[in-house]
Structure 1
Amino acid sequence: MSERRVLVVEDEQTIAESIATRLRAEGFAVELAGTGPAAVAAFVADPHDLIVLDIMLPGYDGLEVCRRVQAVRAVPVLMLTARDAETDLLVGLAVGADDYLTKPFSMRELVARTHALLRRIDRAAELNAPAGDRFTIDDVEVSLTERRVWVSSDEVHLTRTEFELLVCLASRPRAVLPREQLLATVWGWTDGAGSRAVDSHIKALRRKVGGDRIRTVHGVGYAWESAR
């Protein structure tokens, strides 16, 4: 496999260089960008395999960077933020971020999240379903190969993580799936950490497909509601 290329977008030079040093030690080829415009220009010139993206940047912020790069080509994004407000996280997920870390974070965790995101991309490619493979549950139709979703015949645009969450839940209607199971299946995490990532993505998914379709089972996880 060719060397994976990571674009690190961070305006604090010390943090950027620390991230780059650690990722290079893990075998990644790393390019740095310190502003929003520089990040988009670097990605347009030669798209990377993954972006580590700070939300607070000069020029324009990480949310706008995420919007622009996803319009060029779908790419996994690990967003870094010093803010912990739910609104910021939901907006980041809505514009295409796959995961996030709140500063301060450990380099060990950042590396683990990076590897997990890339494993998800590899797994999705390996498990690509046959052409035309679709399923319908109530008024929700899902195309696995096209990675498209329609609700009441209207297409809704989901991020990679939202799509995988929807498939995981909707393929087992009414079954309660623990957060730990969702983390292992969708994110590839096996240590049980990161339940807030599940909660944040579920909230973002509900905003797109309807809040009453996904039931919260307090203290356990989530279930897809269905008339079946």
Structure 2
Amino acid sequence: MLETLEPRGRFGRPYLYEPECESTQLLIGANPEEGTVAVCDFQSAGRGRLGRTWEAPAGTAIHCSVALAPPAGRAPQELTLVGALAAADAVEVATDLFVQVKWPNDVMLNRRKVAGVLGELRGGTVVLGIGINVNQTREQLPPDARRPAGSLRTLTGTEHDRAQVLSTLLWRLEHHYDEWREGGLAALYPDIGARDFLRGRRVTVDGVSGTVIGIDRAGRLELDTGGERRLVESGEISYS
């Protein structure tokens, strides 16, 4: 049950909960203070990257939004990758399995997407929307996904405590956020590199094809396009 939360740190103070909402990105409000967390058990209009919908049966997933106030001089768009790294940590703690991050915002377990992050800039505040597939059955996962999604339940064979996963997520997000505030994305570079799902894969991003070298210290995807190095800041990605 997610009605209450005992925060391990700053994040989750205040904590907003509703059994059902249109989206936690709306529930959190227009001007949330840093550390505010909004959670609901069912989203009727959850959104993912590039306008895609993100839905799950009530009580099976984590839908949360977290308000952050990045300091001047830091690139707020990097926080999507920071959030994905925190979600990967939380899934790994819950499953005891190696979890990867697929640039720019997906979390992968056994080649299946189990979580995603959406960042929205509102003035000087970034609201990170984070969704984690926790206890959906195979039948409850989206059947029309370009690549099959997964949940912690389908990939481990057991149900998981969503409150514990959420608590770990916020704890790890606070930790990585503080590292990022102090040293930028370069401070997280070893962790990001270790979890890089696309490294060494052949990909196409908005019509540009190449082999992924990695994610650079500014959060860009680095490609080898056949002797030429290309840096990609954003785009729709496909891979083999």
Query: Aligning the two structures, in what range does the TM-score lie when normalised by the shorter sequence?
Result: 0.3 to 0.5
Which structure's relative contact order is higher, taking Cα pairs within 8 Å and 6+ residues apart?
2
- TM-score, structure 1 as length reference: 0.37
Higher strand share: 2
